[in-house]
Structure 1
Amino acid sequence: MYEHGQEVSLDDADVVFFGLPEAPWEPKRYRGKPSLDDDDSFRYKALLSRWRTELLSALRAGKTVFVELTSPDVVYAGTGEVQRSGTGRNAEKTRLVEEVSSLAAIPYDLDGIVIGEGHEIRRVPASRLLSSYWTKFGSLSWYEMRFAKQQGLKPLLTSRNSEQLVGAVVAAEGGGHLVLLPAVYLGEHDDATEGGDSSAGEASFRLNSIDFVQRLLGVDSELRGTPSSPPPGWATGTAYETATQRKLREDLLKAQAEEEAARRHKEEIESALQDASSLQGLLFGQGRQLEEAVLRALRLMGIEAQRHVDDESEFDAVFGIDGQRFLGETEGRDRAAIDIDKITQLERNIGEDFTRDEVAEHARGVLFGNPQRLTAPGEREKTFTPKCMTSAERNQFALVLTHQMFGPAAYLEATADQKYAEDCRTAITSAKGQVVQFPEVPSTDGDA
């Protein structure tokens, strides 16, 4: 069993059982629904897109994908776009959002969705596909959403009025099948154990889980054209288990524990590698990737830097050096130099920043540019346009070529050289209307 946030592939799976991903918790509301900030919006939409792609790939590979249709999470997520209106002090920015449902993770768009819980479910008489599954788990199932009949859907289960579906199967290209099931409870249902022996409840859950998997495999076999008879419930207990089976189950549990430990260790390494790789955004990044790389580089130089986002303003980088406040803007261009447009935007941002009640003086501007980002750093010929340079000189802004930040930042990440970090900070503060000249990176023992 995997969490939705894990970077796993379904290529190794023969059969998939999938539950809808949960949206990030967010107290802020918009039109009665949670409203995610930009970071959570990006992550959640990427998560839904990744699982939709994985499930679609599994279906196209001829696999059976079971989906438990619990009540979907519906949130408002940022589109990454801002709508501007007005000019000067009357200028306003509106952050654009869109409604996003956890159902987007399923590679099939359902029509006529109605959210609501119910327990009276009828199996479609003409379909025998779920007969074995429903015999065992029909009484343990309920629906939290209904959907309309539509082309491509073969009805399996309906609500009481038989007009809306709560279970169906979709034949996918490539021979796979998407089986939509209502919610099911695999926990203990014997009232005698409630509040009593927890081990009895756990044992019941494990037996139900084993039976659940066996019956899903039976559905899969029938869909593949090789029907098999799942073992009856009484045969899934320990009474008829051989010594060899018990030994193998113990070995399996041990192997699963080792696999889980290895998986966690792998995830820790992958996370550390991702963090370590973020500095490379200074070389070829743009947008959010470049912003994050610049913030990380500044922090390595001993500068407390962060993005600023509120209902009225959004600045790429805000930081202080030796009591002086700076406001930064980032820009990456594929093949061109950084032009005056970003300097003009930086001027507007500084003016907008100064209107805030908590700001007592104008910040100094820093433009972090990554020109010709698709060209190797040593082969780049364009930096900032003449107009950009002239405007920076007039405003006493510092200009930073982010690919020239990479060497100093990588060195500081490896050494935490405080004196060198101080020299980097001085280079930024002393560049008034000029391109920042970072100090030469000291040689290390590992250098040739």
Structure 2
Amino acid sequence: MGRRRIFTVGFDLPGDGFESIPFNSDQTLLDADIVLFEPTLSVFHSYESYNGRELLSENSSFIAKTRVDHWRSEIITAVNAGKLVVVYLSKPDVYYRYTGQQQHSGTGRSRATTNLVAEISSYEAIPNLTKVTAKSGSEIRLEKDGAFLGPYWSEVSEYSSYEVEIEGNFTRTLLRSRSGERVVGASFEGKRGALLFLPPIRYDYELFVQDVGAEEEWTAEAQEFGKRLVGALVGLSDVLRRSSQLTPPPEWSSASEFRLALENVLETNITQHSAQIQRMQAERLEFEQQLEDAGSLRRLLYEQGKALELAILEAMRLFGFESSQFQDGESEFDGVFVSVEGRCLGEVEGRDNRAIAIEKFSQLERNLSEDFAREETSEYAKGILFGNAYRLKPPADRGSFFTDKCVSAAQRIGAALIRTPDLFAPAKYLKEHPSDTGFAKACRDSIFSTSGGVVNFPEPPIVETNTVTTTNEEEPSLPASPILSVS
């Protein structure tokens, strides 16, 4: 066999023998020969807390749950396909997450919404573990059943301390704490592949990483360790493969006279379940698209170009405008907005690291003149310049959205300036409360009443929102039934 592909998921190791895969990825593990996996949720965002524990944002809540389910499935598939998967037992990451479920009480303006939350653990990504408890120590004992681990352990033991003790469905116990009371390393060996649970590798950052200009690179010592580790992992994989190697069945052994009735039943079940899986995957893709569409208003906060234009059209529709774009071969307008109060024409600009400048306002003025020159237009439209300045920063950290020249030009023609993040809160409220036509009219009025300045939208009515947990105060439980098993 040639060079083995070794994936590291959720962490990095030195040398070009490892391919780093982010935890927040949908990469398949079947592309690898050996997988090194460290469960983590640290890549996901949390801006608030609940019951003394961090609460993931709504977006991160969905992504985190999707990722732990993805990796659990991928690990099972990889082991069943004959891969070696090593799970490095890091300290658990435990958060609260939004479940996407809500409870409502009251009616009208007094309506209260309660968001339901649940705990999520990084170890939900790992099969065959029934309990993971955070415990730390550096004294580790190699058990008799772990003799095959010897060459690997001699390379990494000085970099390995345990961070958890584990319980689960194991073939062998490989490592214990010095007293023998805690299992800190184990294996599950299936018919083809193997799943190892081992203490994580914690190298000395100063010895392994060096600054080269503005970049960080692995030191020579780190590179050498990486090479030795690759060799030890390949040797470990070979030992486990030999211990589970079966003779491929010859073709003649598949003839009907050698088949058992149960095999036919199971093949039928597999076919039926495969069809169900395909249908569910199609439904999931549809739900994911619906989810993306449902959150499209968030693009008002950070997008530019066509994506920002479409988000603005949606927000203005929620305000009660007929919203559209216009193009006739001679003129092209980012947005045309019509309501009972009047007609507006908008120009849209998003900037990464600066305010919206006079050049974009000049484009708006040209568009207003072109629009008025059209035969079907009898009145000058109200001009609106939509700006998303410093778009990659949180809204609270941004500077002025429009330059002084831009503001002066808006005052000269009575145009309105709209910071696109300001559209988000009122648009979100109206999307969730479409019957509140009074608030929609107030939003339109704020636009038409603004002449030469930034539009100040009314604050959405306060809708009481609570957060409650759907679980108890104990540590989140791992799936009770191991999915990998020996047959």
TM-score interval, smaller chain: 0.5 to 0.7
Partner of residue 241 from structure 2, selected from 224, 230, 233: 224
Deviation at 1:7, TM superposition (A): 3.6
Partner of residue 150 from structure 2, selected from 105, 109, 131: 131
* Identical amino acids, percent of aligned pairs: 28
5+ unaligned residues in a row in structure 2: which ranges?
1-18, 245-284, 300-305, 322-336, 342-425, 446-487
Aligned to 2:375: none
Q: Distance in 2 between matches of 1:317 and 1:45?
A: 31
Deviation at 1:107, TM superposition (A): 2.6
**Conservation of the 8 A alpha-carbon contact between 1:59 and 1:178:** yes
Deviation at 1:194, TM superposition (A): 10
**Conservation of the 8 A alpha-carbon contact between 1:295 and 1:306:** no
Aligned to 1:19: 38
Q: Is 1:38 aligned with 2:58? A: yes
Partner of residue 169 from structure 1, selected from 173, 177, 187: 187
**Conservation of the 8 A alpha-carbon contact between 2:94 and 2:121:** yes
| SS of equivalent residue, structure 2 residue 231 | helix
Q: Is 1:77 aligned with 2:97? A: yes
Deviation at 1:329, TM superposition (A): 4.1
User: Which amino acid in the other structure matches residue 161 of structure 1?
Assistant: S
Deviation at 1:291, TM superposition (A): 2.1
User: Which amino acid in the other structure matches residue 29 of structure 2?
Assistant: L
Return the structure number with greater relative CO, CA threshold 8 A, min gap 6.
Answer: 2
Deviation at 1:290, TM superposition (A): 3.7
Q: Is 1:288 aligned with 2:305? A: no
Q: Distance in 2 between matches of 1:44 and 1:178?
A: 23
Q: Distance in 2 between matches of 1:20 and 1:183?
A: 10
Does the C-alpha gap of structure 1 residues 163 and 304 become closer, same or farther in structure 2, counting only changes over 3 Å?
farther
Q: Deviations over 1:48-72 (max 9, x none)?
A: 1212222111111011101111112
Does the C-alpha gap of structure 1 residues 160 and 328 become closer, same or farther in structure 2, counting only changes over 3 Å?
same
Partner of residue 175 from structure 2, selected from 138, 157, 161: 157
Using structure 1 for the length normalisation, give the TM-score. Answer: 0.52
Q: Distance in 2 between matches of 1:120 and 1:285?
A: 47
Aligned to 2:344: none
Aligned to 1:64: 84
Q: Distance in 2 between matches of 1:28 and 1:301?
A: 30
Q: Distance in 2 between matches of 1:95 and 1:165?
A: 38
Deviation at 1:170, TM superposition (A): 1.1
Deviation at 1:36, TM superposition (A): 1.3
Query: RMSD of the alignment, in Å?
Result: 4.1
Aligned to 1:415: none
Q: Distance in 2 between matches of 1:106 and 1:290?
A: 31
Q: Distance in 2 between matches of 1:126 and 1:161?
A: 17
Q: Distance in 2 between matches of 1:285 and 1:138?
A: 44
Aligned to 1:205: 222
Deviation at 1:301, TM superposition (A): 4.9
Aligned to 2:312: 303
Partner of residue 434 from structure 2, selected from 331, 341, 346: 346
**Conservation of the 8 A alpha-carbon contact between 1:16 and 1:66:** yes
Aligned to 1:94: 114
Partner of residue 108 from structure 1, selected from 102, 122, 128: 128
Does the C-alpha gap of structure 1 residues 33 and 285 become closer, same or farther in structure 2, counting only changes over 3 Å?
closer
Q: Deviations over 1:125-182 (max 9, x none)?
A: 343121111222212210111123x44352111123312211110124x521110110
**Conservation of the 8 A alpha-carbon contact between 2:50 and 2:96:** yes
| SS of equivalent residue, structure 1 residue 128 | helix
Does the C-alpha gap of structure 1 residues 363 and 99 become closer, same or farther in structure 2, counting only changes over 3 Å?
farther
Q: Distance in 2 between matches of 1:302 and 1:137?
A: 52
Partner of residue 138 from structure 2, selected from 116, 119, 131: 119
Q: Distance in 2 between matches of 1:74 and 1:119?
A: 23
**Conservation of the 8 A alpha-carbon contact between 1:59 and 1:175:** yes
Q: Distance in 2 between matches of 1:306 and 1:219?
A: 58
User: Which amino acid in the other structure matches residue 434 of structure 2?
Assistant: L
| SS of equivalent residue, structure 1 residue 156 | strand
Please give the residue correspondences for 1:305-324 in structure 2 after superposition, counting only pairs within 5 Å.
305=314
Q: Distance in 2 between matches of 1:152 and 1:82?
A: 39
Q: Distance in 1 between matches of 2:206 and 2:307?
A: 57
Q: Distance in 2 between matches of 1:287 and 1:201?
A: 43
Count of residue pairs the alignment pairs up:
276
Q: Distance in 2 between matches of 1:285 and 1:65?
A: 29
5+ unaligned residues in a row in structure 1: which ranges?
228-279, 308-315, 331-344, 365-448
**Conservation of the 8 A alpha-carbon contact between 1:68 and 1:183:** yes
Q: Distance in 1 between matches of 2:230 and 2:86?
A: 11
Aligned to 2:75: 55
User: Which amino acid in the other structure matches residue 241 of structure 2?
Assistant: R
**Conservation of the 8 A alpha-carbon contact between 1:116 and 1:146:** yes
Q: Deviations over 1:317-353 (max 9, x none)?
A: 67975798766549xxxxxxxxxxxxxx632xx28x9
Q: Distance in 1 between matches of 2:135 and 2:319?
A: 46
Deviation at 1:294, TM superposition (A): 8.0
**Conservation of the 8 A alpha-carbon contact between 2:45 and 2:60:** no
**Conservation of the 8 A alpha-carbon contact between 1:188 and 1:202:** no
Please give the residue correspondences for 1:291-440 in structure 2 after superposition, counting only pairs within 5 Å.
291-292=294-295, 299-301=308-310, 303=312, 305=314, 328-329=430-431, 346-347=434-435, 350=436, 361=442
Deviation at 1:29, TM superposition (A): 1.0
Q: Deviations over 1:3-54 (max 9, x none)?
A: 2234422222111111223331313111222111221111111111212222
User: Which amino acid in the other structure matches residue 96 of structure 1?
Assistant: L
Aligned to 1:144: 163
Does the C-alpha gap of structure 1 residues 285 and 147 become closer, same or farther in structure 2, counting only changes over 3 Å?
closer
